[in-house]
Amino acid sequence: MISKLIVGAATAATLMSGVAFAQSSTVNGAAGGAVTGAIVGGPVGAAVGGVAGAVVGTVIDPPPQKVVTYVREAPAPSARVVVKEKVVVGQPLPETVVVTPIPDDPTYAYAVVNDERVIVEPSSRKVIQVIK
């Protein structure tokens, strides 16, 4: 029984990884992982697949190259913006940081913080990519 459980969980994790990578959010990743896990491993597989799917579902898709190019070439603000917190992908910028929308793609915005250019999601202010 335990070996079936372990094999089921491992199989669910393996099969679910492809499904979860196709998902665009934590919720969708968790749901897809739970369904795949349930099919392969029953209730325990659903639990394992849901957790693994949620983790994989949080991966942030990189912005299009034209957005990255725009942010690299955009003029820096005249005033230097410095924050104590480290700028981390997946975390929101502080409310004190001004974000500027990308003219050709309003689903993205950018800011220059601590001398680093960052691409953010405007609605949540979540950092999507730090431009090196």
CATH node for 80-129: 3.10.450.160
What's the DSSP call for residue 89? T
Q: Are 10 and 45 in contact (CB under 8 A)?
A: no
Write the DSSP assignment of 19-57 as a string of letters: HHHT--SHHHHHHHHHHHHHHHHHHHHHHHHHHHHHHHH
**Per residue in 89-124, pLDDT tens?**
999 999 999 999 999 999 999 999 999 999 999 999
Angstrom distance (rounded) from CA 125 to CA 102: 13
Q: Write the single-letter amino acid at 8.
A: G
The model's pLDDT over 43-63, given as tens digits with 9 standing for 90+, comes to 766 565 555 555 544 557 899
pTM above 0.75, yes or no: no
